[in-house]
Amino acid sequence: MKEKLLNLLMECEDYISGEEIGERLGVSRAAVWKNINALRKDGYIIEAVTNKGYKLDKKSDVISPLQIEKSLNTRYMGRKIIYHETVTSTNDVCKEIADESPEGTAVTCDQQTGGKGRLGRVWKSPKGTGVWISIILKPDISPMSVSSVTLAAGLAVCRTVKKVSGLEAGIKWPNDVYVNGRKLCGILTEMSAQIEKVDYVIVGIGINANTEYFPEELENIACSLYTEACVKFDRNLIIKTLLEEFENIYDKFNMYGFSAIRSEYEKECINIGRRVNVISKDGFEGTAIGVNSDGELIVRKDTGEEITVFSGEVSIRNINQGGFI
Ligand code: BT5
């Protein structure tokens, strides 16, 4: 009923009376009123004017699978979207349903209370500010190649950000997306696999969309679309665009492997052509010169020796005017 009511309100350009809603949906006026309140609780702004009826403010900043699905142009990516207002982590919700879910199923929310970064780090996911989404994939690849799926997702985010906001986004290898030297998006990929075969991959993507203020520890390293563009963005549009871009890139990846998207990835990668500091047991400095067909970063040491760096093994720091980001 709630969904039908939302659909109806979305179609209406003008006010619609409770009576007419009741007639069109075949329910009582009390039921209409109850569901209007339920939608308001979800965050929808619905005006009510005596003798006129109800009108939905189409700019309500609410993540709505309904709204996304309406204009989504994909075959499988996001064809099923599960939304919860609050979860611990969308990756964890995906894990619970991954076995029985079709490829492309997505879980999103308004707030994560236990958002996860890599290596046990925390991903801040406050209410109403970002796109916190995880997507279940079932690629027919070996577990060794899964890190390339994350690179594909990074490329999809980068394109999405450019398309939606016009901002100059770039990928910091392997898959963080940066704008103006600050982190806008992080990706956490988790998988379940046998020795030779992947059961499923969960790609968790966090994009700071409308964050106005960051906690002190992130103030100088994080940004949002809002802090950089000074306007708020429709999170439904971001999700729709992301799902479409990702399907496009993931299809190519599935058919031909990472080499099919390698040059597109390199174009967006901000490390390439710049000094990098590889942080590992045998850490070293050099110049990033590209990525190979497995998605590994190729770094040329000052001695001329070329070393490939496997994502997950090390973190990379970009040397930026003397500093590192
Ligand atoms: C990441 O880890 O960047 C992966 C983040 C993945 C988040 C998504 S949201 C949907 C899905 N559900 C989850 O639970 N996770 C995924 P890492 O590279 O380890 O970066 C973590 C570091 O980024 C932290 O230690 C902070 O320094 C910084 N950080 C935390 N929250 C941030 C935020 N909102 N924006 C920018 N930087 C942040």
User: What separation in Å is there between the alpha carbon of 132 and the centre of ligand 1?
Assistant: 10
Angstrom distances, CA of residue 194 to CA of 103, 198, 253, 267: 18, 6, 21, 34
Residues 6+ apart with CB under 8 A from 50: none
User: What separation in Å is there between the alpha carbon of 314 and the centre of ligand 1?
Assistant: 17
* Full-model pTM: 0.90
- The protein residue with its alpha carbon nearest to ligand 1, atom 9, reads 206
Of residues 267 and 44, which shows the higher confidence score?
Answer: 267
The per-residue pLDDT for 196 is 87
What is the per-residue pLDDT across 212-256, written as a single tens digit (0 to 9) for each? 999 999 999 999 999 999 999 999 999 999 999 999 999 999 999
The per-residue pLDDT for 124 is 98
Structure-block tokens of residue 153: 């997702």
Q: Which atom of ligand 1 is nearest to the CA of 90?
A: 12
User: What separation in Å is there between the alpha carbon of 41 and the centre of ligand 1?
Assistant: 28
3-state secondary structure of 174: coil
Instruction: Count CB-CB contacts under 10 A for residue 263.
Output: 10
Nearest to 181 by CA among 318, 65, 32, 84: 318
What pLDDT band is residue 2 in, cutting at 50, 70 and 90?
confident
Pocket of ligand 1 (CB under 6 A): 89-91, 112, 115-119, 121-125, 132-134, 176, 183, 186-188, 204-206, 208, 218, 222
267 — phi, psi (to 5°)? -60, -35
3-state secondary structure of 134: strand
- The protein residue with its alpha carbon nearest to ligand 1, atom 25, reads 121
User: What separation in Å is there between the alpha carbon of 176 and the centre of ligand 1?
Assistant: 9
Domains and CATH numbers, the chain: 2-56 (1.10.10.10), 65-268 (3.30.930.10), 275-324 (2.30.30.100)
C-alpha span between 256 and 185 (Å, rounded): 26
CB 140 within 8 A of CB 158: no
The per-residue pLDDT for 49 is 93
Please count the helices (runs of H) and the strands (runs of E) in the chain: 9, 15
Q: Is the predicted pLDDT of residue 322 greater than 60, yes or no?
A: no
Of 88-102, 150-164, 278-292, 294-308, which gets the smallest average pLDDT? 278-292
DSSP E strands, the chain: 46-49, 53-56, 81-87, 106-112, 130-137, 169-172, 176-179, 182-193, 198-208, 275-279, 284-291, 297-300, 306-309, 315-320, 323-324
Residue carrying the six token digits 């997505």: 106
What is the per-residue pLDDT across 20-60, written as a single tens digit (0 to 9) for each? 999 999 999 999 999 999 888 877 889 999 999 999 987 77
User: What separation in Å is there between the alpha carbon of 302 and the centre of ligand 1?
Assistant: 32
- The protein residue with its alpha carbon nearest to ligand 1, atom 36, reads 222
C-alpha span between 286 and 19 (Å, rounded): 71
3-state secondary structure of 177: strand
